[in-house]
Structure 1
């Protein structure tokens, strides 16, 4: 079970990092392009959320295939693990988006 927690934590932090890093770099880019960074950062964070999830779970359709093949064979544990990884990745992407929105609200 320790391996599950390790992979779930990596899924969380990868998704969180994709959203946070991509949004902060978009904010820097918008400063160089002389566009308002606040609006651009919120837009980019929302757009990156799904891609952060995809990047964290492997970037392919394999997790969905694992869920389908194991459920149809009657093995629930691997399917539940994959769903857990997806949920942790979603939580990381969502928390990254919320952090960017909070920073923009409190930053003036």
Structure 2
């Protein structure tokens, strides 16, 4: 696995997680307008609830990365483990940045 491939997957994971949180929160805000609920509150709640699911969606499922980590640790191959953890960290950073952006957008509305 080349460095370019690892970086391209990591960047995609970052933006997928960011898009899940940011897009989901924005759509929840639009939906809350139709339901006569406060959009900023709904957006903040949705962003924080979607954060873990954005991470799961970005890395491709909740079990597969854990299986890769487990099987490679038991065989003594640490390089694939480090790559999977790097992917998870990039996805977490994307989800966290999406949450913080929603928090920044809603800071004066509550």
TM bucket normalised to smaller: over 0.9
The answer to whether the aligner puts 1:75 opposite 2:109 as a matched pair is no
The answer as to whether partners of 2:30 and 2:39 remain within 8 angstroms in 1 is yes
Listed as ranges, the matches of 1:81-92 within 5 Å are 81-92=83-94
Distance in 2, matches of 1:42 and 1:106, equals 12
Gaps spanning 5+ residues in structure 2: where?
none
Given candidates 18, 21, 25, the residue that maps to 2:20 is 18
Query: Which deviations, in whole Å up to 9, do the C-alpha atoms of 1:54-100 show, x marking residues without a partner?
Result: 00000230100000100110101101000000000000000000000
The match for 1:32 is 34
The match for 1:99 is 101
Give the TM-score of the pair, scaled to structure 1: 0.96
Given candidates 44, 47, 71, the residue that maps to 1:45 is 47
Gaps spanning 5+ residues in structure 1: where?
none
The answer as to whether partners of 2:40 and 2:109 remain within 8 angstroms in 1 is no
Root mean square deviation of aligned Cα: 1.1
Give the TM-score of the pair, scaled to structure 2: 0.95
